[in-house]
Structures are given as structure tokens and as C-alpha cells.
Amino acid sequence: MAGPGGRRGGAGLPPWRDGLPRLAGGAEDRFPGYDVLNQLDTWDDVTAAVVVARLAPCGPLQFFTVSEERAGRALADRLLAQEDEPRVPVLEMIDARLAAGQTDGWHYDNLPTDALAWRVSLVALDEDAREFYQHGFGELDIDTQKELLETIRTTEDDWRGLPATRVWGLWMRYACAAFYAHPWAWNEIGFGGPAYPRGYKNAGLDKREPWEVAEHDAINPVAWGARLEAARERHR
């Protein structure tokens, strides 16, 4: 049976456009009013099913323990500056990957495998928090969590028996992969989605497809980042 726009409804997909949790860009956001899900009817069934599955309600965690969840949830929120609802369910997405053994297929020789490295590093994060602040990491206020994480990020040697730079890279790699796989994050960066099988026709700098939205108040993040790092170096 054809769905809206003349496309077939794929097996296991919810009715198109009905009941999907949406988060379009607001008037002051970088891409105001943009919602990649408006293109849902143009995707093939397999592609649409993959994207829609990322919007489904999350079940209970399968990999992380209760204590690991508390530390891990706070860690994911701080790494991605998700301070308020609604949040992209980053920890749930990481948990699903680790439970299924879906790693990147490699790990540094001075770190355990990814699953074990996550467990060990979250325990270490809680140990740091309890040693310096007498509470688990997930129980600390946001500013204190940021302060502790900044100490780890700028550590060049081992941290709790683990190479700090490798641990930081592990956390960021998984957190960013999860966050930017979610349609809400696509709205935030103006990403047009898979556009399959339609494809893109207006390739090139500053060119947009008809469904894309012009960027509001654009800034150059590279220049801003360079200034930030220079300021940090001056205050070391």
C-alpha cells in the first residue's frame, strides 16, 4: 500500500510522520525551522527504517551496570553539553553498541578492548570523584564534573593506570558517533540526511538543496577554537 507521497510503507515502520519525536530548529538556532524528518517520505524503506529506529523509545541498558550508568550518563552529557531535555540518548546508543560487540574493530595496545576500557574508565572516574569530592561522578554538580573532566583531558601521562589521552579519545569517539547518528543532531548541523535514493544535485560550497535551510548567524568554529586553545595555553 502506498504511503504519503506515493511511497510504500516498509515492514515494521510506524505510520509516516505520525508519532515520531521531532525536534526542529528553533527561530534562534543555527538552522531555524529545519527538520530532516520532513524528507522521510523520499527515502527508501530500508534507509527510513534505520533512521526511524534511532527515534524509538530506549529500553533498559544491557551493558552498563547501575553505577556505571550514573557515571556514564553524566559523562556523556558533559562531553556533548546536553544540559537540558530533550537529549539525544547517547548513553543508550553506546550501551547498545557495546552489548552487541559493535566496536570499531581495533583498540590501542595500551588500552583494554573497548568494552573493558569503558568499564574500567567509568570506575576510575567515580574513584576520582570520590577521592576529591567525596561523591560519585554522577552525583556532582555540573561545574564540578566539568572541572574534573578538564583535568583528565589535559593530563598527558597516565590517569588511574590508564593513558589519559587514549581514554579521552575513547569517550569522545563513542559519544560523537552516537550523537551525530541521531536525526536531532542532524537538525542542529543542517545535515540533509541520507537522501537515498534521490541523492544530492547541488554539490558545492554554499549551495543548498531545495529542502535545506540557510545557516543563521554563521561563525567559523576553527578560528574560535584556535582562540580558545591559545587562551588556555596562556593560563597554564
Residue 21: pLDDT above 90? no
Report the alpha-carbon distance of residue 79 to residue 175 in Å, rounded: 7
pLDDT at 146: 96
Q: What is the pLDDT of residues 37-88, one digit of tens each?
A: 999 889 999 999 999 999 988 899 999 999 999 999 999 999 999 998 889 9
Q: What is the pLDDT of residues 88-103, one digit of tens each?
A: 999 999 999 999 999 9
Higher confidence at residue 229 or residue 99?
Answer: 99
Q: Residue 8 — very low, low, confident or very high, per pLDDT cuts 50/70/90? A: very low
Q: Tell me, rounded to whole angstroms, the distance of Cα 163 from its chain centroid.
A: 23
Rounded percentage of the chain residues whose pLDDT exceeds 90 = 59
Find, among 123, 103, 114, the residue nearest to 170 by Cα.
Answer: 114
Domain locations along the chain: 4-55+191-234, 66-179
Q: Residue 4 — very low, low, confident or very high, per pLDDT cuts 50/70/90? A: very low
pLDDT at 227: 67
Residue 188: pLDDT above 70? yes
pLDDT at 5: 34
Torsion 150-151-156-157 (CA) sign? negative
Report the alpha-carbon distance of residue 8 to residue 149 in Å, rounded: 48
Contacts of 196 by beta carbon, 8 Å cutoff, 6+ apart: 43, 44, 47
Q: What is the pLDDT of residues 57-68, one digit of tens each?
A: 889 999 999 999
What's the whole-number average pLDDT of the chain?
Answer: 86
Q: Average of pLDDT values for 134-150?
A: 97
Report the alpha-carbon distance of residue 213 to residue 29 in Å, rounded: 11
Q: Average of pLDDT values for 98-117?
A: 95
Higher confidence at residue 25 or residue 106?
Answer: 106
Residue 110: pLDDT above 60? yes
Element (H, E) at 100: helix 90-100
Q: Residue 211 — very low, low, confident or very high, per pLDDT cuts 50/70/90? A: confident
pTM of the model: 0.82
Contacts of 220 by beta carbon, 8 Å cutoff, 6+ apart: none
Helix, strand, coil % in the chain, rounded to nearest 5: 50, 5, 45
Q: Residue 147 — very low, low, confident or very high, per pLDDT cuts 50/70/90? A: very high
pLDDT at 6: 32
Q: Which residues pair with 43 in a beta bridge?
A: 197
In the block, cell 541498558 appears at 61
Higher confidence at residue 94 or residue 28?
Answer: 94
